[in-house]
Structure 1
Amino acid sequence: MKCNIKNRAGAGIFIALFFLLTILPLKASGEVVDRVVAVVNDSIITLSELNAAYAVSGEALKDEPVVLGQGSFTSEKASEIIDTLIEQKLIKQGADKIGVEVSESDIDMAVDDVIKQNRVTKENFIVMLSNSGLTLKEYREQLRARIREIKFVNKQFRSKVFVEEADMEEFYTQNLDKFLAPPSIRLRLIFFSNQDKDLMAKRLEIVLKGLEEGREFAALASEYSEGPATSKGGDLGYLAVGEMDKKISATARKLKPGEVSEPIYTTQGVTLLQLVDSRAQVPRPFEEVKAGIKNALTNKFLEENFNYWIKEIKELAHIEVRL
C-alpha cells in the first residue's frame, strides 16, 4: 500500500488507528550501508528510511532490502517515495514548531484500538509486529509520529474549515443517488407456532374464518397471534425488503395494500401477512444524512487546505535530493 501523506492528511485524518498498522514502514532486513538520500531543511532522509517506505509501497520487500543501484528500485518509484518522505519531514517540522505533543496515553489508546480492531490479543499483536520486523517499542514510536501528524493537521487547518448549511444542501441535491433508502414495506403479521400442530391448525381456522366474515386483521392479530407486536395488531412497521426472510419478502411483495396472504408454512409454524403500505426507493431526508455530509465536506476542505499548505511550504523549504 502506498503511504501517501496527502491522502492520509485529508481523508486519513479520520480513519481508525488500526489502519496505521498497514501503512507503517517495515524494517528492512539484511545489511545495507546507510547514507543520506535527501535533506529537508535541517532534517535528513536516509537510505534505510527509503527502503522501509519502499517495502510498504505495494512492491513487497522479500528477503533482501532494495538498494539503490541494483536496478529494481526505479527512479520513478524512488521519486514518488522520496516526495512522500519529504512531506512527512515537513509535517514533523511544522508540528514541532507549534508544539504539538503526543502523550504516552495517546499512544496507549492507539495501540489498544489497533489490537481491538484487529481482534487479536496483545501477545499475538506483538508476534504480528515481529513478523513485520518491528518491536512494540519501535511501533509505538512510529505511532507517535503518525498521531503527531494527525494532531498537527487538525490543529493547523481545522479552524480554517467552515461547512455552511448551503454547502451541505447543495451536496445533497447534487448527489441524491448516494442517499437512496432501500425499498421498504409495512406489514401486519399473525403467527402460530407448530409446537402443538392441532392447536395451530385450529387457531388458523378461526382466524381465516374471521377474515372471511369481515373482521379486521389487526383485531384478529391482537386476539390470537403468537407473533410479535400483538399489542399493535401485529404491525411490524416498515421493513427493508432486503433484510427480510426471503420467503416472507417474496410473498409480501406480491400483495396489494390491505390484501392478506395465503398461509405461509415454515419450520417454526404458520404465518399470515397483510400488506399495509409499501415505499419505493427514495432519498433519505436531508436531516437524516446531514451529519455524514458535513463530515465528508470537512474532510474535503481539510485536504484542500493541507495540499495548499504543503505546496507552499515546499517552495520555501531547502530540499536537496541525492538519489
Structure 2
Amino acid sequence: MITVLAILSLLFLLSACSALTSGEGGKLLVKTDYGNITKDDLYKEVISSERGKELIQKLVYMQILEGKYEVSDKEVNQQLDGMKEQAGDEDGFKAFLQQQGFKNEKELKDQIKQSIYFFKATTDGVKVTDKQINDYYEQNKDQYTEVRTSHILVDMESTAKEIEEELKKGTDFTELAKKQSTDKVSGAEGGDLGYLSGRSNELDPTFLAAALKLKKGEVSEPVKTMFGYHIIKVTDIKETPLSKVKDQIKQALMGKEAKPVQQILNKLNKEIEIREDAFKDVFKDVEPQQPKMPPQG
C-alpha cells in the first residue's frame, strides 16, 4: 500500500496543482468497471495521508536546499566509498543495503546526497580553523594509528612474570607464544593479532590502551584483563597522516556545532508561500523538544 501511495503521490505532485488552477480536478486518471479515479480523488488521498504530507515536505524542502547549496558527486561518492570500505567486500555491502532498507546503491546515494544538503544547512556559518583540526588530530592520535600486535595470554600473574623474564633473557617471543599462550588461535601464529587501532571497539579497553602505548619492537609488562594476563608486543606501527583525514575531522568538528534540524526546517518554512489551506499544517512550525527535567526528590 505504501509503494502504491508513493507512486500516486508523485503523480499528484506533477499534475494536481495545474489541475486545480485549470478546473481539471475532475479529469479522469484511471477507469475501471467498478469505479474511476480522478485528479480530485488523487489530491484528497495524498493530502489526507501522513505519507503524502511527508512526500510533499521532502519535495519542497529539498527544492529550497538545492537552490541554496551545492552538493557534488565527489562529496557523495566519498561517503559511499567509506561505507563500502566498512562493509568489506561486495557481499558485505549488499547485506548493509538490505539491513538499512535500501533496494539498491542508487537509493543509498540519494539518501547520502539529502543528508549532505541538510548537513550544509545545519552547519551554515560554522567555521573550523586548521589549529582546531590539528589539535583534534593530536588529541585523538590513537584513532588514526594502527599497531600490529602479538600477545602471550596466561591465567596466572606468576606465569606471566616468568615469561617476562624469559623474554628479557632473549627467548624468542614467537616460540613462547606457541608453547605457552592459552589463546590457541593467535598462539599458533606466534601470538599475532593483526593490526589494531583506537577504533577497535570490540577489544578489551585495558589491552588496547596498553598496546597503543608501546613503540615498535617494545614488549609490555603483564597486563591484566578479564581474560587473564597478557604479555604484549608491537611488531609494526602505521599512522594515517593528517592530510588524509583532515576533511573527515573538519566534518566532525562542524557537526558538533550544527543547529537542530527542526530549527532549520522552521526557518525554511518562512520561505514557503502556501496557497492552499490544505497545506497549512504540512509546513507548520514545531518547537524543538525541551529536555525533560529529572524527577525531584
Q: TM-score range by the shorter chain?
A: 0.3 to 0.5
TM-score scaled to structure 2, two decimals?
0.37
TM-score scaled to structure 1, two decimals?
0.34
Greater RCO, CA 8 A, separation 6+:
1
